[in-house]
Every structure is written in structure tokens, then in C-alpha cells.
Amino acid sequence: MTSMFRWCLATVLLIALSVFSGVGQDAHGQREPAFRVIVHPSSTVESLPKKEVSRMFLKRRTQWPDGGQVTPVDLPESSDIRRQFSRTVHGRGVDIIANYWVREIFSGKRVPPKQLKNAAQVVEFVRDNEGAIGYVNPGAVTDEVKVLEVIE
């Protein structure tokens, strides 16, 4: 009986958590993305599926649809924006992605994207390199780069 009571309590708590986790969502129930994926302003690509964006940052897709070279840039592993990007786009935490890169490096397949120190450097890099793709917090986006829509 006590055990059943604990299970019920745990279930109630889980439901409560899932309800209150809705705080911060807008009127349509959509959570405001914590980051924007940005590309060079001359890019003809308007949107990409999340899986494709993930493959570009994992360097498993290295060409844009027009044939140009994809050049992804990352923020530091300690960055909150990178953590949210990793969780949202790759569906995995930063540590798992770090393991992926260790495997890729030492199996001689690919090296990780260039890592820049902050959002301002990412915007600058994307502005100056045609095939570049990066992600920054929404407040860091400027008119010098183009925001790419990431679709499910």
C-alpha cells in the first residue's frame, strides 16, 4: 500500500513538473528558441531540416545544395547557447558530441569545426565566409548575417 502511495505521489509530481515546465512558452505553446542559426547573407538557402543542420555541424554533410563548401563554426563547450543548440539540433548533450569528435579525430575521419570564443566572433566569421554556418543568441544577430529557419 505504501509502495503504491509512493508511485501515485511520483506520478503526480511528474505531471506537475510537466505542467509547470510550460512556463516561458508563448501564447501558442511554442518555446522561444534560445539561439538562431545564421549563414552568410548571400546564401540562397532559407530553411533546412534540423537533421541536415545537425549533419552540417557534425561534418557529415559538407556541401550546400548549390555545391558550395559548408564551414560550420562552434561556440565553446562551456557556452549555454552551445548546450542548448546541441540538445535541440543534435538531440544529444555536449559531452556526447565531444565523444563523437574524439572518435572521428582518432579514426582519421574529420576534425571538429573551428571553435570561436563568443557570439560576436561567430557573427563576424559568418559575415566574412560564404559557406559559413553558425549559431548565436537572438540578441547577437545583426543585419550582416542571414537567419536560417530550422524546421523539424
Partner 1 sequence: MFLHHPSNIDSQREAGVRRRVAVLVTIVFLAAVPSSALEIGENLFIHGFGGWAFAQTDENLYLIGDENGVWDNVQLSLNFTADIAPRARVVAQVAMTQEDELETDLDYAFGEWKFSDRARLRLGRVKHPFGIYAEIFDVGTLRPFYMLPQSIYGPQGITAKSVDGIGFLGILDSPTWSVSYDLYAGEIQGTLQVPGPFAADPDDRFQSEVVSDFEVEDVFGLRLEVSPPLAGLRFGLSAYTGEQTVVDVQQATTKQSYDVVGVHIGYEDEKWLARAEASRFDLGDDAFGADGAYAELAYHVTENWQLAVRWDWWQGDNSGLDLTQLPPFVNQLLENEDLGFAINYWFTPRFVVKLNYHVIKGNRFAFPDDPDEILRAFFTQQLEDETEMIVFGVQFSF
**Of these, 34, 45, 84, 98, which contacts partner 1 (CB under 8 A)?**
98
* Nearest one of 102, 59, 56 to 77, comparing CA atoms: 102
Q: Which helix (H) or strand (E) holds 145?
A: none
Q: Work out the burial of residue 64: count CB atoms within 10 Å of its CB; fewer than 13 is exposed, 13-18 middle, 19 or more buried.
A: buried
Told to check if 118 binds partner 1 by CB under 8 A, we report: no
Cβ 79 to partner 1 shortest distance, Å:
14
Q: Work out the burial of residue 107: count CB atoms within 10 Å of its CB; fewer than 13 is exposed, 13-18 middle, 19 or more buried.
A: exposed
Q: Are strands 71-74 and 47-49 parallel, antiparallel or unpaired?
A: unpaired
Cβ 132 to partner 1 shortest distance, Å:
14
Rounded distance between C-alpha atoms, residue 71 and residue 59, angstroms: 9
Cβ 42 to partner 1 shortest distance, Å:
19
Told to check if 51 binds partner 1 by CB under 8 A, we report: yes
Is the Cβ of residue 129 or residue 141 nearer to partner 1 in the bound state? 129
State residue 118 phi and psi, 5-degree precision: -155, 175
Residue 149: beta bridge partners?
A: 47
Told to check if 16 binds partner 1 by CB under 8 A, we report: no
**Of these, 25, 44, 69, 142, which contacts partner 1 (CB under 8 A)?**
69
Is the Cβ of residue 52 or residue 127 nearer to partner 1 in the bound state? 52
Rounded distance between C-alpha atoms, residue 140 and residue 9, angstroms: 43
Is the Cβ of residue 83 or residue 127 nearer to partner 1 in the bound state? 83
User: x/- binding map, residues 75-94, to partner 1, per CB under 8 A?
Assistant: ---------------xxxx-
Told to check if 108 binds partner 1 by CB under 8 A, we report: yes
